[in-house]
Amino acid sequence: MITRTADLLENPVRPNAWGSATEIPRLLGLEPTGRPQAELWMGAHPAAPSRLRSGGTLAERIEEDPTGELSPLVIRHFGTRLPFLMKIIAAERPLSLQAHPNLQQARAGYAAEQQRGVPISSPERSYVDPNHKPELIYPLTQFEALCGFRRIDATLRLLTELAGAAPALTKYVEALRARPDPEGLREVVTGLLTVPANRRRQLVDAVVAACAAGSAEFPAEYATGVQLGEAYPGDPGVVIALLLNRMTLQPGQAMFLAAGNMHCYLHGTAVEVMANSDNVLRGGLTGKHVDVPELLRVVDVADGPAPLMVPKEQGPGHTAYRPPMPDFRLDTYALTETPAEMGLAGPRIVLTVAGTAVVQVGPQTLTLPRGASAWLPAGLAATVAGSGELVVATTNL
């Protein structure tokens, strides 16, 4: 008979070049290695599953008893896979300009690459799994980001101002003025991402030089253009970035990115919760595989403000961030000596991001200092007390 118990997790770190060398080691209480440590993965994605302190991976444990670990409800909605993935991301420099597919696009793209025989490990692969990848970002430090296309009237003002010093932008201004709607914006985005190589560097250099002159209305955007232009000279993603909402988030705020949202994280450390996928369609600002045709196929060009989330108070010190989909949600607990009920029936990954949490799961007591995490199977009643803050990823059913 299989006995379901909570278990401590040991989580893999991904050393992407954009990562901070210090923030994830600081969270985990470890000495920095001197190399970038960009992402700490907590979950059961086949590319980097968490290991259980008792042995084996979380993916193997779920495979052994999916109904017991996930619950019949989760099985009905998602099958026998854990539907969410949680990460700590620590960005020292900008990530790639990117968007993620919806479920139908992911399944079709994955099947097409499988049929063509593109190895999963190939750097030219765009779809590494058949799942969508909406995501929620919850900052632990001040977090700088570009997210979604800003309102077209503001973008027209910005491009018109830049075109005075970068005349190559004039045709894009005229195109958007002639059709100031999402399809006009799509025309501009497509044109910028497909500028012929022999004209690309000249265009980007002119735009970056115009940004360096500064702007009264768009100071943060222009400064970001200079920053990205220095990091990625000649990359048209620098110009696309100027069309996006420039965001500064503080701890306690959160943002939801639906499928198709064009975005680029610039700097900061955050909890990221998403559907259990690693599908990324990149359009620039990276040395990795850039798939402009596929990015243009999935990107959502709707304009408007960035999608900040409104938290829902669940009880004293307990807040929930619930996106408009069933795959995942994020709960946060401001810990005190009084135990708080963790009234969530589904499977959970818990992580202490400040102080020390004491999680009581039936007869089990898990003491989780900052940076420690644990797996709680579905259906196990739990309480948490301590000091600091605990975050919990679970399903949103």
**Catalytic status, residue 282:** yes
The tokens of 96 are what?
Answer: 């790639």
Q: What is the Cα 270 distance to its own chain's centre? A: 9
Q: Catalytic one among 51, 150, 282, 348? A: 282
State how far the Cα of 319 lies from the Cα of 300, in Å rounded to an integer. 30
Question: What are the residue numbers of the active site?
Answer: 282
